[in-house]
Structure 1
Amino acid sequence: MTAHVIVTDEAATRVIRLRRPEKKNAITHEMFRAMREAIDTAQNDPKIRCLIVTGGSGVFTAGNDIEDLLEQSTSGQPSPASDLVKFLYSLAHNVKPIIAAVDGAAMGIGTTMLFHCDYVLASTTALFSTPFSSFGLVPEGASSLLMPRSMGHQRAFAMLVMGRTMTADDGRDAGFVNTVVAPGHAEVEARKVAREICALPPDAVAISRRLLRLPPEDVTRRIDQENHVFAERMRSQEAITAFKTFMARTKG
């Protein structure tokens, strides 16, 4: 378990907290593995009734760690066995209600993972961004399937293709944010929601949740489709140029 992901069980709730503030919680291979393990080991544990994913106060996550992503591209990754894809599979097959507490920036996978969650709280400082096209890339995380289903084609196009950002209020209007809270309060309020869910009859919650969601095989099929195209795009001249420009700007 990496020190950048802290997993704690609090009563019937497992809290998965990203803790890499110096990199705005950018997610590495090891972090994806740790989150996947935390989700997978909760599946057959009757004591765990609910999951919370949080980045703490100030930032949710800046998305994929760029250096890790570039390392994947030079080694022919992402592959079907990559840590990101395995994490996405875990989200797709997860049977426990999952709550996201978003305080600050949620970029890339930080936004797309929310569409695998059942309840999303966002502080007024939350900002949702999926700048795939600007890097010469395509959507991931089954977002090309889940986002239009959740908020309509036009909003999804504006985010996934045009790279437009959304505020917490925008997310609530679009339907993927349940509640907007004050800065620093997302995690506290998420615990309240978790207690409310955990107080309900567990079988009724599990069955109802399953009825509400797409079959996991539909989601993983889209994950695989996106992953295949994503890998091709990582080797494209558009993506190589975009990443070189980005790295030069960050180092300059």
Structure 2
Amino acid sequence: MTGHLTVVDSDATRIITLTRADKKNALTQDMYRAMAEAINSAQHDAAIRCLVIEGSGGIFTSGNDLEDFLQAGSAGAGLRESQATTFLHALANNQKPLLAAVGGAAIGIGTTLLFHCDYVIASSTASFATPFVPLGLVPEGASSLLVPRAIGHHRAFALLVMGRKIDANDARDAGFVNEVVPPEQLRAEARKVAAEICRLPAEAVALSRQLLKLPAEQLIERIDHEGRLFGERMTSDEAIAAFKRFFDRKK
């Protein structure tokens, strides 16, 4: 595992916690690799009935660590061959109920991964944004397929293309957040819901979940298609200029 991620099995639930709070839980290649391993290794473990992803330090994740991400793509691999894609494939192939506990900001993949989840709890301080297009990029994580299916084309356009930020209550109204709770209740509520799912008949849950989800093959096909476009866009004049503006603001 990585020092920026903890994986704890509590009863029948595997809890994956992002612990890079000093960097707003920005995701590195090592963190993606560790999350994929935590998800994949749970698939054939009958003792694990449910998965939870959460952040620490009052934030879910600020998305990709852009310096780390750009370095990983410097050889021309782009998103398609990065550890981010390994993680996204793990989400697509996952057969266990997956919960997210979102406190604070969920940016980029921090939002798009939620559409692979089965239940999402947000704190009242949560916010959601996918600034791909403002950075000269395109959506990822099969979000171009999943988000319109979940919330409709018009809301998806505002979120994925215009990059508009929405708050927890708007996300609940849109339908991709189940419940909004005070920040101090977020972790306890996530564990309560996970325990409720774990008490259900495991085979019936698995079969029913499979009926509700799109086939993994269809998700992976879209993830890889988006990844090819994403990799191409990373070397575009628009993206290079947008990244330069981003890093100039950080100086």
TM range (shorter): over 0.9
Structure 1, unmatched stretches of 5+, are none
Other structure's SS at 1:125 match: coil
Whole-angstrom CA distance in 2 between matches of 1:100 and 1:61: 12
Instruction: Name the residue aligned to 2:203.
Output: 203
- Aligned residue number for residue 64 of structure 2: 64
Partner of 2:243: 243
Show the counterpart of 1:193.
Answer: 193
Structure 2 distance, partners of 1:69, 1:56, is: 21
In 2 relative to 1, CA 170–121 (structure 1 residues): closer, same or farther, beyond 3 Å?
Answer: same
- Is this contact kept in 2: 1:103–1:184, CA < 8 A? no
| Per-residue CA distance 1:81-125 (angstroms, 9 max, x = gap) | 320001000000000000000000000000000000000000010
SS at structure 1 position matched to 2:14: strand
**AA at the equivalent of 2:6:** I
Q: TM-score, normalised by structure 1?
A: 0.98
Map Cα deviations across residues 205-228 of structure 1 (whole Å, 9 max, x no partner): 000000000000000000011000
| Displacement after TM superposition at 1:73 (Å) | 3.4
Q: How does 1:152-231 map to 2 (within 5 A)?
A: 152-231=152-231
The answer to whether 1:139 aligns with 2:145 is no
Once the two structures are aligned, what percentage of the paired residues are identical? 60
Number of residues of Structure 1 aligned to a counterpart in Structure 2: 251
Within 2, Cα distance between the matches of 1:208 and 1:98? 14
Does 2:101 correspond to 1:101? Answer: yes
Unaligned runs of 5+ in 2: none
Task: Measure, in 1, the Cα distance between the counterparts of 2:190 and 2:219.
Answer: 25
Aligned residue type for 1:95: Q
Aligned Cα RMSD in Å?
A: 0.8
Q: Contact 1:58 / 1:184 at 8 angstroms: preserved in 2?
A: no
SS at match of 1:60: coil
CA contact (8 A) 2:80 2:224 kept: yes
- Cα distance in 2 between the residues matched to 1:92 and 1:238: 30
